[in-house]
Structure 1
Amino acid sequence: MTSLLTTSSSRLTISARIEERLRQGELTQDRVDEFRDFLVEVDREFMQHRIITNNAYTRWFREGRATDEELVYFIQQFSVFSNQFLIAALQKVINSATLQQSRASREILLNELGVIYRKLGQTGSSRVTQSAEKDREGDPELVSTEGTVDGGICRFQAAHFEWLVGVAEGLGLSYGDIGKRKQGSPTTLHFCDELIRLYGSADPQIAEGASFAVENWAAAGFWQELEDGLTRIKQTRHPHLRLAFFTWHNRVEAQHAGHTLEELEEVYFKPDFDRTKFIQGGREILDAIAVFWDGLNSVTSDQ
């Protein structure tokens, strides 16, 4: 997917698509200049947020020094967030302002629940060549990172939470040991509740800001740091640890961020766009994300 906006030295800039709309007279120079100023504000308030630029926990985690106790705690807390995200994602679907936004939200939710992305032009029954390293890449029939859930096949084993169960089992945990709200720490539950309140907000301006911030946080590199740390742990201590949940998310999040960039252009130029609420939704969810990671960081042995 072509992103609406591009980054230059980590800065959001006007895209060629916006420039083309200006040339065609669809947008005035004043409106494009206002949009450029807005991108500067988004970059400052979102992209330069400390949890995007300097996540202390994932920077530590990538070294692979987490003890087994710390690793178990991480998986439990991350699984609670992962499961509670389903509630926020469903609310986002329900509260979508347009059918197009509803479909974009359902793409994410249904894939989380096990509907496999289908590339356009590919039938639902098409088979994909098996990967040489199935654990790292995931079963290619279950973990496509491109396409649409429309016409895709639903498989229980493709549900993201089932992949987390596989990780947990490698650490001596069972299905009942992860993903439940009762297992969440106060900082984890704060993040989960803020996801439901902001990402799933009935106020479309708040929800758009939160969605843009969440997806760009997810695409900013923390998945790579988690994958690096888990790969080191797998190589040194737990050779049977299954990593597909983390490697798949590391590959797919840029596609999700691309969706939100398209949505940002669409909503910004609507007459009812509320710049203040958009920034509010994004800032508040990023602050909640920071609470989650700070909570994990506070229990590491390096503190």
Structure 2
Amino acid sequence: MSTAAHVDHLAISERIEGRLQRGELTPRQVDSYKEFLEEVDRDLFHHRVITSNAYTRWFQHGEATDAELRHFIRQFSVFSNQFLVAALLRVIHAPTLQQARAAKEILMNELGVIYHRPDRGEHRTEHVDDEGKDREGDPELVSTEGTVDGGTFRFRAAHFEWLLAVGQGLGLTYDDMGQRKHGQPYTLHFCNELQHLYGSEDGQISCGASFAVENWAAAGFWQELEDGLMHIKQTRIPHLRLAFFTWHNRVEAQHAGHVMEELEDVFFAPDFDRHRFFEGARGALEAVAMFWDGLEMDRTTGIAN
């Protein structure tokens, strides 16, 4: 997977150019930022979990057996549900009100507050039947843009409930998913590291972890998962519900356009610490890699069957 389409890491944005022209930044500061971006590209954007994920590359072909698919969904459900703890810690430990609000956008949407666009007014003007109303989390009925501020809460819009719907099509129930007791050691390590890094009390470490996680999420693995699941739905399991994966694929593509702007704000802040930023970022990517490596090992050794 090429990261060139993901972000032109050597480009200085119009925002930076504008600040330079206005005298808010010096040429030396901009050169330092350029050097930093090269390190970001070398150490983060070319991390193996972003450029070459063996498990998702295999999964994309849609050849997972029912047992392998259940194993994957169960482990992913543990990560997805336990991520709420890390997201809450990020809100609690946010170093600024702005960062706390940004963290709340993620947490509240995960819990079921639907994004809305205040500038567009009420967007559901068409008739929706009872079944449609019961699918508030369906990506066809919710927006991937906007804010949770003033948004509507729906139990069915909670991301974990969408994932439960996927599991139900495979014979999994609420009792089979989402709890730490269902997690393999590599899944629990991933969850623990997210809480430790993404939810760190050290704002520099949590910022690095968040930046790394967002870039991993926007780098294409959701598309690989959606491709594989769509093939399975079309060829074997027509009742499989995929809203969880299709929605995340759409929203993460949108997030890719925002991460560099966030990085600019962090880098030029007076208290920026490059070493601690990379500590959080590298640690998060290693934890992500351990999760996928574990799934790949389970697959190749037959544990998932």
Q: Spell out the pairing of 1:248-263 with structure 2 (5 A cutoff).
A: 248-263=247-262
Cα-Cα RMSD: 2.0
Once residues 50 and 101 of structure 1 are traced to their aligned partners in structure 2, the CA distance between those partners, rounded to angstroms, is 29
Aligned residues between the structures: 293
Among candidates 124, 127, 130, match of residue 127 of structure 1: 124
Instruction: State the Cα distance separating 1:8 from its structure 2 match.
Output: 6.7
Q: Which residue is 1:117 aligned to?
A: 115
Q: Give the 5 Å matches for 1:240-255.
A: 240-255=239-254
The alpha-carbon deviation at position 254 of structure 1 amounts to: 2.8
The farther-off stretch of 237-246 and 256-265 is 256-265
CA distance 1:288–1:68, change in 2 (3 Å)? same
Residue in 1 aligned with 2:146? 147
Q: 1:129: how far off?
A: 5.1
Aligned residues: percent identity? 63
8 Å Cα contact 1:117-1:149 kept in structure 2? yes
Q: Verify the 8 A CA contact 1:212 1:257 in the aligned structure 2.
A: no
Q: 2:211 aligns to what?
A: 212
Q: Which residue of 1 aligns with 2:29?
A: 31
Flag structure 2 segments of 5+ consecutive residues without an equivalent. Answer: none
- Contact kept? 2:212, 2:284, Cα under 8 Å: yes
- Structure 1 residue ranges without an equivalent (≥5): 1-5
User: Which position in structure 1 is the counterpart of 2:16?
Assistant: 18
Residue in 1 aligned with 2:85?
A: 87
Q: Residues 176, 9 of structure 1: CA spacing in aligned structure 2 closer, same or farther, 3 A cutoff? A: closer
Answer whether contact 1:51 1:290 (CA < 8 A) is retained: yes
Change (3 A) 1:70 1:9: closer
Query: Structure 1, residues 85-117: CA drift from partner, whole Å, max 9, x if none?
Result: 000000000000111101100001000000000
1:176 Cα shift?
1.0
* Alpha-carbon separation, structure 2, partners of 1:213 and 1:80: 20
User: 1:120 Cα deviation (Å)?
Assistant: 2.8
Contact 2:139 2:246 in 1 (8 A): no
| 1:28, distance to aligned residue in structure 2 (A) | 0.3
1:59-93 CA-to-partner distances (Å, cap 9, x unmatched) read 00000011111000000000000001000000000
SS at match of 1:205: helix
Q: Distance in 2 between matches of 1:8 and 1:25?
A: 31
2:224 aligned partner, one-letter code: E
Cα deviation, 1:147-188, whole Å, max 9, x if unaligned, reads: 000111000000000100100000011111100100000000
Q: Post-superposition shift, 1:20?
A: 1.1
Equivalence map 1:278-289=2 (5 Å): 278-289=277-288
Write the distance in 1 (CA, Å) between the matches of 2:249 and 2:26.
38
Distance in 1, Cα, partners of 2:127 & 2:84: 29
State the Cα distance separating 1:24 from its structure 2 match: 1.1
* Conservation of the 8 A alpha-carbon contact between 1:59 and 1:225: yes
How far residue 257 of structure 1 moved from its aligned partner, in angstroms, is 3.6
TM-score by length of 2: 0.91
- Decide whether the 8 Å contact of 1:22 with 1:28 is kept in 2: yes
SS in 2 for 1:190: helix
Provide the C-alpha distance between the structure 1 equivalents of 2:15 and 2:127, rounded to a whole number of angstroms: 37
Q: Distance in 1 between matches of 2:97 and 2:114?
A: 21
TM-score w.r.t. length of structure 1: 0.92
- Pair 24,203 (structure 1): closer, same or farther in 2 beyond 3 Å: same
> Is the contact made by 2:164 and 2:174 (CA closer than 8 Å) also made in structure 1?
yes
Change (3 A) 1:7 1:266: farther
User: Are the structure 2 counterparts of residues 92 and 63 from structure 1 closer, same or farther at C-alpha, using a change threshold of 3 Å?
Assistant: same
Runs of 4+ in 1 over 6 A off after TM superposition: none
1:199-247 Cα shifts (integer Å, max 9, x gaps): 0010000001000000000000000000000001001110000001000
